[in-house]
Amino acid sequence: MNLKNSLNNLQFDNRFIQQLPADLETKNYCRTVLEASYSYVLPKKTNQPKLVSYAKEVAQLLGLDVKECETPLFTQVFTGNKLLEGMQPYACCYGGHQFGNWAGQLGDGRAINLGELLTNKGEHYTLQLKGAGITPYSRRADGLAVLRSSIREYLCSEAMYHLGVPTTRALSLALTGDSVVRDMFYDGRPQEEQGAIVCRVAPSFTRFGSFQIYTTQGNIPLLKKFVDVTIRHDFPHLGSPCKQTYLTWFTEVCQKTALMIVHWQRVGFVHGVMNTDNMSILGLTIDYGPYGWLDDYNPNWTPNTTDAGESRYRFGNQPQMAYWNLVQLANAIYPLIEDVELLQQALKVYTDSFEQQWNKMMINKLGLAIYDPKTDEGLINDLLRVLQLVETDMTIFYRNLALLNIDQPNLEQLSDEVLLKPLIEAYYQPNKLTSEFKQQIGNWIRLYIKRVRQAEISDNERRLRMNAINPRYVFRNYLAQLAIDKAESGDFSMVEALLALFRHPYDEQMDKAYYAEKRPDWAKTRAGCSMLSCSS
Ligand code: AMP
Ligand code: MG
């Protein structure tokens, strides 16, 4: 079996468009699309496309010979200028609740699916260009993407993957050679920026809003057809679609979503726009827009300026928002199940599995194996309280907590000051650590020592476990901005350096310690580093 195909050898099996109804209008203008799941549309030709970067792991996943990524054909295909045999580009129709309100038809406004690649292993992957021009779903926008947001999507998708967080992937990042006008903060200061295209890859890009659209249109036959196709393609292990399968399917979506959110909370990722059109049916992190990473542990933080007022999608609210979104999905599929109680039971699976997995994740972050509610509820709650008393870098805190020498007898009898020492690097303003604070963290550390001793875990074992779940390197907001600043002036070295760094986020990497440092002061209030808008 040849696992390394050339571009021209890739096989496409476009099941989605074969099995779902197409929009009969084939002209490309913005409109409401009814009775259809997608519209045929061609990517816009780009002027002077230039490949910036590609992810070799994604090429390998697709069974594409990595050498092919360096060819002119690759650049042409993944900037929309050429189609490979078997590609049939289309944009999907979907709706969504945006910030709690039903927004009607949204759809792929600037994403064009090239086709479903069928790998030699029999797996399907949809290849999608983001920023490839207008589609019937572009509403009043231009269908394009700028370099800064494309770098953010490209690097974050891959960083998340290597961190072990379920996510869509990114094959390539290219400049189009065309300029795009954006008013970054919607304050009347539009600027020309460089256009770019990311090729995203996922088994499917179906969203909660892909189902909601049919129910709100009153098109239950198409809703049923869409659910059936989703189950056959994306959940084949569930068997033939029927009422019972619909429930099992929804339950699995609840579980997958819970797992994704647990991972977000584990690494400090804040999505920023958890609208139902940005929720993947496969529980993948999707649509990297104004997301951010926690520097200091602050459950109230949101990176998205559009959400600054209510902070609906703040870090600490993500679990509740995912639940809210699942309720909307339950409402959408209700006509196929017609039993509120059964849907509520499935929703409870979300709450239960989230709680169970979150407890396990938190206890693993502390290097412990088994969650014991008697001791651990208090231990975890107290830690999360203490982490908020002063500005504490979340990533550094957990990494450095592993350094405590708990094997050392009588460690707990040492002073607060001494116990705190391994953690000092995590504090943004070490000179502001009052004796009252030191006492609080000291007491928590003593509680922790007691718990570790009770579990009889050696420092060695604890460190190994902690360093496998607490990353050393995350995609800090300011790192993204530094890479963008350089790239905008034509230097893509930092994009490549970060891509390489994030391949091994849990490993100590020689000479890369500066990438693990806490956010510098200048980045605290700079646009792009702590504040992002949806304008991309
Ligand atoms: P987002 O907030 O990025 O998830 O986008 C919400 C909706 O707006 C989706 O239907 C997007 O496809 C669409 N959209 C966002 N940006 C653009 C753009 N530049 N051109 C066309 N449609 C867009
Ligand atoms: Mg979106």
Residue type, 256: K
Q: What share of the chain is helix, strand, coil (3-state, %, to 5)?
A: 45, 15, 40
What is the chain's alpha carbon radius of gyration, rounded to the nearest angstrom?
A: 24
Give the number of residues written for the chain. Answer: 536
Reduced to 3 states (helix: H, G, I; strand: E, B; else coil), residue 182 is strand
Residue owning tokens 């019972």 = 244
Ligand 2 centroid distance, CA of 459 (Å): 44
Q: What distance lies between CA 448 and its chain's CA centroid?
A: 31
DSSP state of 393: B
What pLDDT was estimated at residue 21?
A: 98
Task: Tell me the DSSP string of 445-478.
Answer: HHHHHHHHHHHT--HHHHHHHHHTTS-S----HH
Domain range annotation of the chain: 3-205, 220-364, 373-469, 477-523
CA-CA-CA-CA dihedral for 236, 242, 244, 246, to nearest 10: 60
Supply 441's token pair: 């963290």
The residue whose CB lies within 8 Å of the most ligand 1 atoms, and thus the one to mutate among 28, 110, 305, is: 110
* Shortest-distance ligand to the CA of residue 180: 1
Supply 274's token pair: 């958890």
Indicate which residue's Cα is closest to atom 15 of ligand 1: 109
Phi, psi for residue 43 in degrees, rounded to 5: -60, 150
What pLDDT was estimated at residue 133?
A: 98
State in Å, rounded, how far the first CA of the chain is from the last one: 42
The candidate with the shortest Cα–Cα distance to 287, out of 108, 97, 69, 485, is 108
Helix axes 373-387, 435-455, angle to 10 degrees: 150
Whether residue 319 has its Cβ less than 6 Å from ligand 1: no
Residue owning tokens 């065309």 = 178
What pLDDT was estimated at residue 117?
A: 98
- Say how far apart CA 265 and CA 183 lie, in whole Å: 31
For the chain, residues with pLDDT lower than 70 are 1-2
Annotated catalytic residue, options 23, 228, 234, 277: 277
Whether residue 292 has its Cβ less than 6 Å from ligand 1: no
- Say how far apart CA 373 and CA 359 lie, in whole Å: 9
Q: Are 296 and 118 in contact (CB under 8 A)?
A: no
Indicate which residue's Cα is closest to atom 7 of ligand 1: 106
Q: Are 90 and 17 in contact (CB under 8 A)?
A: yes
- Say how far apart CA 470 and CA 366 lie, in whole Å: 9
- Say how far apart CA 46 and CA 334 lie, in whole Å: 44
Task: Tell me the DSSP string of 97-119.
Answer: EETTEEEEE---SSEEEEEEEE-
